Amino acid sequence: MTDSIKELTLLQPDDWHIHLRDGKALATTVPHAATSFDRVICMPNLVPPVKNADDARAYRERIMQYLQASDVRAARKSAFDPRMTLYMTDHTSVHDIEMAAKSGIVQAVKLYPAGATTNSADGVTDIDGLAKVFAAMEKYNLPLLLHGEVTHDHVDIFDREKRFLDEVLVQIVRNFPTLKIVLEHITTSDAADFVLAQGKQVAATITPQHLMLNRNHLLLGGIKPHFYCLPILKRATHQQALLAVATSGSSKFFLGTDSAPHATDKKEAACGCAGCYSSATALPLYATVFDSIGKLDNLEGFTSRFGAEFYGLPVTTNTVTLINTPMQVPTDYPYFDGSTLTPLMAGETLPWSIKG
């Protein structure tokens, strides 16, 4: 721990990977995101998915309606900028990419291998058939965001990220050398090494859960459903590799919470909903991680600078102050239709909190 630092003012963070969901869920997720972040990249795996610029525009309008109806203070409302993504399918067209690039609100295109995670049934089954789409994304400088796992039934769930790197991503990088790529929510040393070995056009986001936890936390002493996410938590050695690159000061790694709300009763059920909810407490969670290995001086780059620079956006000028005063993560939040939402590390005490 960094005992000498009692207060730390940072540029307000951005979240380059968040799930807000849709409908009544937005009454909870939007205020949490707007209080924590200036910009957020909103995942498109709704039902139905966000497949084109018109879908993206309509989704953004729904988000902003819930923002205006919330009790988030005016300064945070005015700073909040949800950036949209398209959901890539086997039928995504060059025209879809052109319209998205010209929309002014679509920041990237998300590729989910079909069946990889929540609401990914419409995802890509034939990556080789998307060459013209990738070329158009290069042309219009529209980044590709990847859920980097293969989904073959015969591949062990703990090996799916590495197989994606070896069998899929290496070919995309080779065939489209100027395409900006973000490997989302990386979980392995293999992914960290892959990103480090590429040029500046390849980067990665890292979640708080993959920095704080490994598969022992998920499985020892009984399965912890609120630690279950996809890609799944890996070995402690992989966790340590992620800690090393996230806190290193390398601009190739930046904040992406992958905060994903599921009602508590849906997480604690046979359905096995994948996702950890961290939006409301993300900065104290990341601060706890960086402080635990004496790297608080590198926190601002990871949370507030490197993502904006990768996407070619201005770095925010708003600030937030962390204080070295313990906070207890809420055990739950009210959610819609009388349900609750259990956050990551619910009930645990973190050493850092947000001033004011």
CA separation (Å) from 4 to 1, 74, 86, 173, 295? 9, 34, 45, 44, 13
Range 234-239 contact pairs with CB under 8 angstroms and sequence separation of 24 or more? 234/158, 234/187, 234/188, 234/210, 235/158, 237/189, 238/187, 238/188, 238/189, 238/214, 239/210, 239/211, 239/213, 239/214
258 is catalytic: yes
Q: Rounded to whole angstroms, how far apart are CA atoms 39 and 82?
A: 6
Binding annotation for Zn(2+): 17, 19, 110, 147, 185, 258
Within 8 A by CB and 6+ apart from 277, the residues are 259, 260, 261, 262, 341, 342, 343, 344
Cβ atoms of residues 205 and 17 within 8 Å:
yes
Annotated binding site: 17, 19-21, 45, 110, 147, 185, 230, 258, 262, 274
Asked if residues 15 and 259 have their Cβ atoms less than 8 Å apart, the reply is yes
Nearest alpha carbon to residue 169 among 188, 146, 186? 146
Please give the annotated binding residues for substrate, written as ranges: 19-21, 45, 147, 230, 262, 274
Q: Which of 55, 122, 258, 291 is catalytic?
A: 258
Residues recognised as catalytic: 258
